[in-house]
Amino acid sequence: MKLSQLAVGKKGIIKEFTDLEMSVKLMEMGCLPGEEISIQRVAPLGDPIAINVSGYQLSLRKREASTIILQ
């Protein structure tokens, strides 16, 4: 399942990334394989998505979230 498909309030564990370039950016922000991640909010038009990972709240575009594969 992709992070972009996760419902608000649900949690998942980061397994891998589908985009090498984007994975570097996401890992620098704390989105590391094995970390628990959850969706906090979704903007009214569906973009961006507020997530919680490693104790931080981040905002990702839906396109960025779709590159994160969950266990």
Q: What is the CATH number of the domain that holds 10?
A: 2.30.30.90
Residue range 14-19: mean pLDDT, rounded: 93
Number of domains in the chain: 1
Gap between the Cα atoms of 50 and 26, Å rounded? 14
Gap between the Cα atoms of 46 and 15, Å rounded? 23
Q: What is the pLDDT of residues 39-68, one digit of tens each?
A: 999 999 888 999 999 888 999 999 999 999
Query: What domain range is 31 assigned to?
Result: 3-70
Predicted local distance difference test score (pLDDT) of residue 46: 84
Q: Which residue has the tokens 């960025």?
A: 64
Residue range 28-39: mean pLDDT, rounded: 92
Please say if the pLDDT value at position 1 is more than 90. Answer: yes
Please say if the pLDDT value at position 30 is more than 90. Answer: no
Q: What is the pLDDT of residues 17-29, one digit of tens each?
A: 998 888 899 888 8
Those residues whose C-beta lies under 8 Å from the C-beta of residue 29, and which sit 6 or more positions away, are 53, 56, 58
